[in-house]
Every structure is written in C-alpha cells, then in structure tokens.
Structure 1
Amino acid sequence: MIKYVLPLAAAGALAAAIFTSPFAHAERAVPIPAPAHDVQPTVKPNVAVLAGGCFWGMEAVFERVKGVTNVTAGYAGGTAATATYDQVSTEGTRHAEAIRVTYDPRVVSYGTLLRIYFSVAHDPTTLDRQGPDRGTSYRSAIFPQNAAQRAVAAAYIAQLGQAKAYPRPIVTKIETGGFYPAEAYHQHFFDKNPNHPYIVAWDKPKVAAFKAAFPALAK
C-alpha cells in the first residue's frame, strides 16, 4: 500500500475507505509471557532492528518505551542501492520496512522489546501482510545485531509457539542484513501527521493498546 501524504479531499476519501474496510479494527495487546531468556545488560547503548509492517506504527510504539533513546524508520534485508521507498514498494528488493531502536539496556532489555514487538507492535502470525498492507516488505522479521540477540529471539519464538500464545503459528523470521534509514518525510511520521487517515485508523489504536497493556513501560 502506497502511504503518501494526501491532499485534504483525497485524505477524506481514503479515511472513509479505511474506516469501512473489513480489515480496520481496534488494536489490542495479546497477553504473552516475558521471555525466559534475555540478553545480559551492558552499560553501553544497544540497537535492535525489527520489521513488522508499516514502519510508521512500529516507530510510534517504540518511541514511547522507557529506555528507548531513538527510533529510526528504514529498510532492512536488501542492498543500499535499493533502499528507497519507491523501490521497496515494488516488492522486488528483498527489503522489509523496519525500525532501528537504540535503547539503554539498563532500563529496558532486548527481551522486553521483543515482548512489546510480539504482543502489540504487530501481528506475528500474518505472512507478508499487516492490516491493510500486503507484500514482502511488510513481513514479520527480526534482524539480530549479534549472537546473543539471535539466541534470545529464536528462544522466544519457540517459547511463544510452545505456549500457544496465538491461534495461528508465528511466521516471524530471523534474518540477516543491513539497515538503511528511510527518507526524511517518513521519520517520526506519527507525531508530525497525527490526523493522517492511516495514522488515525491503524497506529493511534496501536499506541493506545501499548500504553494500556504496558503502563509501567510507557514514557
């Protein structure tokens, strides 16, 4: 789905289409256990790279997590040469819309970030789609930055599967690849465009669900 900033009349038409769509719904957090294993904290800032549908909503959720110091929207899984929105939208670059989360591991752990990711930031059971968006660029994928993150992510996916936390299997993949920041107009899009129809329909409910489910973790 191409998510351009639209003129007012066009935005109104899009809003009507979104709100009457059978896919539109109020977000809610899925109650899931904390990970049994976690990355040991360090004194230095750490980075997590996560993909789970449109990066606008993912960014908005994680920007509101205590201990997170910066979130950048971007692309992961493909090459630097194809890391542009126009190219990624063709679904032929291997990129996923993703976010890079810089966080203080003394305040919030990698495992806790994964818990938010799986519980409320996206649906890990839908293959190559999230909400109204379709295509491999909207896939559920984790890009570990080191061996410890990879081990924790793999163990947590297995733990949630064994716990039958969802009515369908988790399709989240653990992948490798660099991260490339998206265009400037995509950064902090939620805060810059609070009345955008897509934000109102899909991302504001997601942020509200995060705050309701994890009040102790919200800024």
Structure 2
Amino acid sequence: MNNMPDPEIKLPPEQDRGEVVLAAGCFWCVEAVFQALAGVEDVTSGYAGGDADTANYQAVCTGRTGHAEVIRVRYDPAVVSFGTLLKVFFAVAHDPTQLNRQGNDLGPQYRSAVFVADDEQRRVAQAYIEQLDRSGVFGAPIATKLEPLKAFHEAEAYHQDFAINNPSQPYVCMVAQPKLDKLARQFPGHLAGD
C-alpha cells in the first residue's frame, strides 16, 4: 500500500504525550510491528475497553468483556511522530476495514480501535480516518473506532515480546512475519537500527 498518504493533520511534538494504545487484532503480531520502529521505546501487550476484573486472557477470549487485545506504545515524539505511528497502524499492522475481526480471529476483542487518551489524539486520529476514507486507498470504509482510554491492563507475562521469544511459532510465522516484511518495504528508514 505504497499510496498510503501521510496524515494531513499533525500532532505537534510538544502536545504529544509519547504514548498511544492501539487495537488491531491479536496483540502478538501488532506488538512485533511496533517494536521494529525507530523511536519506539516500549511496547506492552494488554487489554482495554472493559473492567479490571475481566482483564485476563481467558475472559477476553470469550468476546463478552468489552476488552480488546491492545498494545501500549511508548515512544519519543522527537524521533517518531504520532502521525507515523497511525500510518503504520493503518498501512501495516492490520486491515482497518474489517469489523470485529482480523483474518481468522473473530470477535470484538479483535476490533480495530485507537484508544485515545486526550482531545489532541482524538482530533488527529479522527482527521486521518476521514482523510483515508476520502482517499479511497482501502476500497472499503474504515471500521476503526476511536474509544476513550479509561484504563490499560497489562497482559500476562507470556504474551509480552511473544514474536521475539517465539519466532518459529506457526501463528507468528504466518501472521507477524509478513507484517514485518511489509513494514520493511513500506517504511525504510523508520526501522530500529536503520
């Protein structure tokens, strides 16, 4: 998707909190994409959208908790912008036109969402979704929702750094690795170590 436009509305670095929570399907593979970006300091898999007492993998997998599998990205706005993170989110991390699913992963826990922490994040993300819909780059309406970030709940330890720790796991090979290959093709110069 090399015709993916940059966001027209930008979040100035001085207004950027340096943290965003994103939902884009299984957190194992989304985490791997954002860990590969220059300027990203930490990526943590977790849950958002539901209550603390149901923020565990077994409960979230039922699809009845209100939670989505998410990642929390902490980054240096002087190195990577909120807009670049949004562009990677839409272009590489998942298919934002799918409602409550990513590939074979079905249910609201796999929804596409930006969990906005403040009005500036909401303004920039909403403008970018509208811009992408106008551009027709996806050929279908974007299903991504903007949801208020009420709380982020860190996932169990075995979910953290999953693709890094399990590179030969079949799901990682079939889902995460193609995303990483796409990231390298579409975002040269934005990768950690470049």
Structure 2 unmatched runs, 5+ = none
1:203 alignment partner in structure 2: 176
Corresponding residue for 1:20? Answer: none
CA contact (8 A) 1:39 1:110 kept: yes
| Structure 1: gaps (5+ residues) | 1-28
**Is the partner of 2:122 in helix, strand or coil?**
helix
The alignment partner of 2:189 has SS state of helix
Partner residue, 1:164: 136
Residues 128 and 137 in structure 1, CA contact (< 8 A), matched pair in contact too:
yes
Q: Taking structure 1 as reference, are residues 91 and 43 closer, same or farther at Cα in structure 2, changes over 3 Å only? A: closer
Name the CA distance, whole Å, in 1 between partners of 2:123 and 2:14: 17
**Deviation sequence 1:102-157 (CA, Å, 0-9, x none):** 00000111011000000011000001100110000000000111111110000000
SS in 1 for 2:33: helix
Amino acid at match of 2:91: S
* Letter of the 2:107 counterpart: G
2:161 matched residue in structure 1: 188
Matched, 1:213 2:189: no
Deviation of 1:31 after TM superposition, in Å, equals 3.1
Percent of residue pairs identical: 49
Q: Is the 8 A contact 1:44 1:104 kept in 2?
A: no
Distance (whole Å) between structure 1 residues aligned to residue 177 and residue 145 of structure 2:
26
State how far apart, in whole Å, the 1-side matches of 2:70 and 2:44 are.
8
Amino acid at match of 1:32: M
Q: Which has the larger radius of gyration?
A: 1
Tell me the TM-score normalized by structure 1: 0.85
Secondary structure of the 2:21 match is: strand
Instruction: Give the Cα–Cα distance (whole angstroms) in 2 for the partners of residues 201 and 112 of structure 1.
Output: 25
Deviation, structure 1 residue 183: 0.2
- Report deviation, 1:45: 6.0
Which residue in the other structure is 1:13 paired with?
none
Deviates most, 36-45 or 119-128: 36-45
Relative distance call for 1:89 and 1:214 in structure 2 (3 A) is same
Question: What is residue 36 of structure 1 aligned with on the other side?
Answer: 8
Deviation at 1:42, TM superposition (A): 2.8
- Deviating 4+ runs (over 2 angstroms): 42-45
Counterpart-to-counterpart distance in 2, 1:30 and 1:129: 24
Give the RMSD, CA atoms, in angstroms.
1.3
Secondary structure of 1:217's match?
Answer: coil
Which residue identity is paired with 1:39? Answer: L
In structure 2, the CA distance between the partners of 1:179 and 1:209, relative to structure 1 (3 Å rule), is same
Q: What amino acid is aligned across from residue 134 of structure 1 in structure 2?
A: L
Equivalence map 1:1-219=2 (5 Å): 29=1, 31-42=3-14, 46-176=18-148, 177-219=150-192
Please say if residues 19 and 72 of structure 2, whose CA atoms lie closer than 8 Å, have aligned partners that are also in contact: yes
Comparing 79-88 and 43-52, the one that deviates more? 43-52
Structure 1 distance, partners of 2:62, 2:16, is 38
- TM-score relative to the length of structure 2: 0.95
Match of 2:28, SS? Answer: helix
Contact 1:144/1:174 (<8 A) preserved: yes
